Amino acid sequence: MNMVVRALLLLLLAGCASMPPAGVPLTGRWGGEHVGLELTASGGNLDYDCATGRIDGPVRPTADGTFRALGTHTPGTGGPERVGVAPPSHVARYEGQVRAGRMILQVRVANGVLVGPLTLRPGARPMFLRCL
């Protein structure tokens, strides 16, 4: 078999092997530019440059790797946090796809804000530019 054909077949198989089994919750730390995500079997927490988020349930990809989950998004205020003043949180829908060793994530916030798409990799360190 031609070496190029073998290499292509191996790449295709590697992409399939990294697909999580359908219905099994994603877990672990994921990171990328401007975002960090920690997932457990019961939900997750996100950190952005100038915001935070919470996923209120397990992230369970379907057979094609897509997922949807509900939670909240809390924009940052910049500058020092005021004691006793909590920033407003908004209902958010987290949706994306896990494929070939990466996650593409979008966040649709109830106030009309769309965050993403963001690319994350399992075990990668997040790279933040914190707001001031």
Distance CA 53, CA 74 (A): 6
What is residue 23's predicted lDDT score, i.e. its pLDDT?
76
DSSP code of 5? H
Residue with tokens 């106030």: 111
Over residues 13-48, the pLDDT tens digits come to 444 434 456 778 999 999 999 999 999 999 999 999
Residue 2 makes CB contacts below 8 A (sequence gap 6+) with none
Q: What distance lies between CA 94 and its chain's CA centroid?
A: 8
Over residues 103-120, the pLDDT tens digits come to 999 999 998 989 999 999
Q: What is the arithmetic mean of pLDDT over 59-81?
A: 89
Q: How far is CA 70 from CA 24, 111, 116, 117, in A?
A: 17, 14, 16, 17
pTM as predicted: 0.77
What value does the CA radius of gyration of the chain take, rounded to a whole number of Å? 17
Distance CA 115, CA 94 (A): 10
**Residue with more model confidence, 22 or 1:** 22
3, pLDDT greater than 70? no
